[in-house]
């Protein structure tokens, strides 16, 4: 099998949209053949024929904000076989034995591909199970408690039968197995345990509604690198900063995949520079502005810090590129049709500790946010090249008495001659029967990034400047 398994980020819809957009528009052409809330199965048009495809996968992994790991798939087992081998309640013992034996036969072959050399080797592996949805009963009751111990034990036996000197596996905490509440190992553990080496492996068992994909991890996100940039930079302010992952995803929605070193990117609400720092490591030409001089100073110092960390030369014109400008006047300071992309999170209003009243939010939207967003689209239209995109965050306020309340960004953008871009191409994504996994046509124009019970949620939009 020549397909690959992508482990998606926490916000799986946004991660899937980012991946689909990238497979459609970047050099990594391909399509998502199947997915769940945790994984995507990808068939590339030609990547597999590239001799150095693992290096290419590493490039792709580095670029994506919503991808935790990429694995190569070796086998697929139909979901009915799994249900027969591991039912909720065992009634037909013979059937269970027979189908478990079938699974072991598959594993026997897969192990030769995962470990090219087994004889006399000391091998180590970690089994990671990604269910269709983490809150499925089948995951907590069957996969964690029965399937995982079965795999751990049987893989060890098979490797020993094949001549391994030693075969050890990663042991998850017993209390998590007992409670059924288990997370597969995180990328930093994959790195820490050296599971990308030849004699050590993370074996992924990824479920979708269709069945089980068995893969070996080839590349993983390096969260320590992102965390370092996010947390160790001299100036940070977590309550108003977007996450590194979201910054990367937003940059990818601009659809600027080639010759990034020649593409001019602007964040006109630069704050402490999160978006620009990640645009810098993605090789973009970065520009930023803010109406607060302190923020401009912070961003410049953060960028200098990052350049020093990366041992890169300092660009001479940094002070000209990061400047104090009110978003209402962007076109007075930047040249017309100069930018290839704009990526930004404007002020989302006051930081509410608890839910506000509907009237409070309505007043805020009418008096401050609508005029501000109107100015943003009016001004960015002038400085953006034709057919280029803006990826922008807007707030959704959860109110005490009026439910979720938001600005009509679409209307404002369209009035300023932008067109709305779907974040995921519904025609390229297969249908799922589980409602939680469906993309509804009306909901794909924008996607939400928020934790449960957050008072202000971020909604991500993409617009393109019409000619
Ligand atoms: C939500 S913060 C952006 C945070 C940024 N994404 C980060 O991660 O650091 C919004 C920024 O917009 C700036 N701002 C507010 N109103 C502005 C305006 N009219 N023009 C330009 N900047 C403005 C604020 O000073 C603040 O730094």
135 vs 48, higher pLDDT: 135
Note the pLDDT tens digit of each residue in 106-127.
Answer: 999 999 999 999 999 999 999 9
CA-242 nearest atom, ligand 1 = 8
DSSP code, position 89? S
Task: Give residue 55 CA to ligand 1 midpoint distance, Å.
Answer: 37
Classified by CATH at the fold level, domain 225-465 comes out as Rossmann fold (3.40.50)
Among 65, 233, 267, 290, name the best residue to mutate to test ligand 1's pocket (greatest count of ligand atoms within 8 A of Cβ).
Answer: 290
Neighbours of 304 (CB within 10 A): 14
Percent of the chain with pLDDT over 70: 99
- pLDDT computed for residue 443 by the predictor: 62
Task: Give residue 376 CA to ligand 1 midpoint distance, Å.
Answer: 12
Task: Give residue 198 CA to ligand 1 midpoint distance, Å.
Answer: 47
Among 65, 235, 269, name the best residue to mutate to test ligand 1's pocket (greatest count of ligand atoms within 8 A of Cβ).
Answer: 269
Task: Give residue 293 CA to ligand 1 midpoint distance, Å.
Answer: 11
Q: Buried b / exposed e across 175-198, counting CB within 10 Å, b at 16+?
A: eeeeeeebebbebeebeebebbee
- pLDDT computed for residue 78 by the predictor: 97
DSSP code, position 243? P
- For residues 415 and 407, the answer to whether their CB atoms sit within 8 Å is no
- pLDDT computed for residue 427 by the predictor: 85
Band the pLDDT of 442: cuts 50, 70, 90.
low
- pLDDT computed for residue 24 by the predictor: 95
Mean pLDDT value of segment 169-191? 94
Comma-separated ranges of CATH 3.30.2130.30 domains in the chain: 4-221
Length of the chain: 467
In the predicted model, is pLDDT for residue 1 greater than 70? no
Task: Give residue 290 CA to ligand 1 midpoint distance, Å.
Answer: 6
> Which has the minimum average pLDDT: 77-86, 96-105, 197-206, 440-449?
440-449
Mean pLDDT value of segment 66-90? 96
Element (H, E) at 82: helix 79-85
Task: Give residue 298 CA to ligand 1 midpoint distance, Å.
Answer: 12
- pLDDT computed for residue 465 by the predictor: 97
Cα separation, 293 vs 299, in Å, equals 10
Contact residues of ligand 1, CB 6 A cut-off: 240-242, 269, 271-272, 274-275, 290-292, 295, 326-328, 345-348
In the predicted model, is pLDDT for residue 49 greater than 90? no
Task: Please count the helices (runs of H) and the strands (runs of E) in the chain.
Answer: 17, 17
pTM: 0.95
- Name which residue sits closest to atom 26 of ligand 1, judged by CA: 271
In the predicted model, is pLDDT for residue 367 greater than 80? yes
Comma-separated ranges of CATH 3.40.50.150 domains in the chain: 225-465
**Taking all residues of the chain, what is their mean pLDDT, rounded to a whole number?**
94
The number of angstroms, rounded, from the C-alpha of 449 to the middle of its chain's C-alpha atoms is 11
Neighbours of 467 (CB within 10 A): 5
Query: Which residues 6+ apart lie within 8 Å of 314 measured at CB?
Result: 304, 307
Cα separation, 7 vs 206, in Å, equals 9
- Name which residue sits closest to atom 10 of ligand 1, judged by CA: 347
Query: Which residues 6+ apart lie within 8 Å of 425 measured at CB?
Result: 20, 21, 24
- Name which residue sits closest to atom 7 of ligand 1, judged by CA: 241
- pLDDT computed for residue 101 by the predictor: 96
DSSP code, position 196? T
Cα separation, 203 vs 114, in Å, equals 8
How far lies 369's CA from each of 33, 181, 300, 442, in Å?
A: 40, 42, 27, 24
Task: Give residue 269 CA to ligand 1 midpoint distance, Å.
Answer: 4
Q: In what order do the strands lie in the sheet with 122-130?
A: 30-35, 39-44, 4-8, 67-78, 211-220, 200-207, 122-130, 166-169
Mean pLDDT value of segment 127-154? 96
Task: Give residue 256 CA to ligand 1 midpoint distance, Å.
Answer: 24
CA-327 nearest atom, ligand 1 = 20
CATH architecture for residues 4-221: 2-Layer Sandwich (3.30)
CA-326 nearest atom, ligand 1 = 20
- pLDDT computed for residue 447 by the predictor: 86
């Amino acid at each position: 099998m020549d397909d690959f398994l992508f482990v998606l980020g926490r916000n799986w819809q946004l991660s899937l949209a980012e991946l689909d957009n990238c497979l459609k528009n970047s050099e990594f052409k391909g399509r998502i053949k199947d997915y769940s809330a945790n994984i995507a199965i990808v068939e590339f048009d030609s990547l597999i024929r590239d001799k150095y495809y693992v290096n290419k996968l590493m490039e792709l992994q580095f670029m994506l904000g919503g991808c935790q790991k990429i694995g190569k798939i070796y086998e697929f087992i139909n979901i009915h076989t799994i249900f027969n081998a591991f039912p909720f309640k065992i009634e037909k013992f013979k059937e269970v034995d027979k189908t478990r034996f079938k699974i072991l036969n598959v594993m026997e072959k897969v192990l030769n591909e995962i470990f090219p050399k087994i004889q006399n080797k000391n091998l180590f592996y970690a089994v990671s199970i990604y269910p269709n949805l983490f809150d499925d009963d089948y995951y907590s009751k069957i996969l964690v408690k029965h399937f995982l111990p079965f795999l751990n034990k049987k893989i060890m036996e098979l490797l020993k039968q094949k001549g391994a000197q030693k075969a050890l596996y990663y042991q998850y905490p017993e209390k998590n197995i007992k409670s059924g509440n288990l997370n597969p190992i995180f990328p930093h553990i994959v790195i820490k345990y050296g599971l990308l080496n030849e004699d050590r492996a993370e074996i992924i068992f990824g479920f979708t509604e269709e069945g089980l994909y068995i893969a070996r991890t080839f590349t993983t996100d390096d969260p320590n690198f992102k965390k370092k940039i996010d947390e160790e930079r001299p100036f940070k302010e977590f309550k108003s900063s977007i996450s590194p992952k979201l910054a990367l995803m937003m940059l990818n929605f601009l659809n600027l995949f080639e010759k990034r070193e020649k593409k001019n990117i602007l964040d006109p609400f630069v704050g402490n520079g999160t978006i620009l720092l990640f645009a810098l490591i993605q090789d973009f030409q970065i520009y930023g502005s803010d109406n607060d001089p302190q923020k401009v100073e912070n961003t410049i110092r953060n960028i200098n810090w990052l350049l020093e960390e990366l041992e890169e030369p300092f660009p001479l014109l940094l002070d000209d590129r990061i400047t104090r400008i009110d978003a209402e006047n962007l076109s007075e300071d930047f040249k017309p049709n100069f930018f290839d992309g704009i990526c930004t999170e404007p002020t989302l209003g006051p930081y509410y500790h608890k839910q506000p009243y509907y009237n409070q939010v309505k007043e805020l939207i009418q008096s401050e946010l609508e005029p501000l967003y109107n100015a943003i689209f009016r001004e960015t239209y002038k400085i953006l090249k034709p057919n280029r995109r803006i990826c922008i965050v807007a707030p959704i306020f959860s109110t005490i008495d009026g439910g979720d309340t938001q600005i009509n960004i679409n209307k404002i953008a369209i009035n300023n001659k932008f067109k709305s871009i779907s974040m995921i191409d519904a025609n390229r994504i297969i249908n799922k029967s589980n409602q939680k996994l469906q993309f509804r046509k009306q909901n794909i124009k924008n996607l939400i990034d928020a934790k449960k019970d957050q008072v202000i949620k971020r909604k991500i939009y993409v617009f393109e400047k019409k000619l």
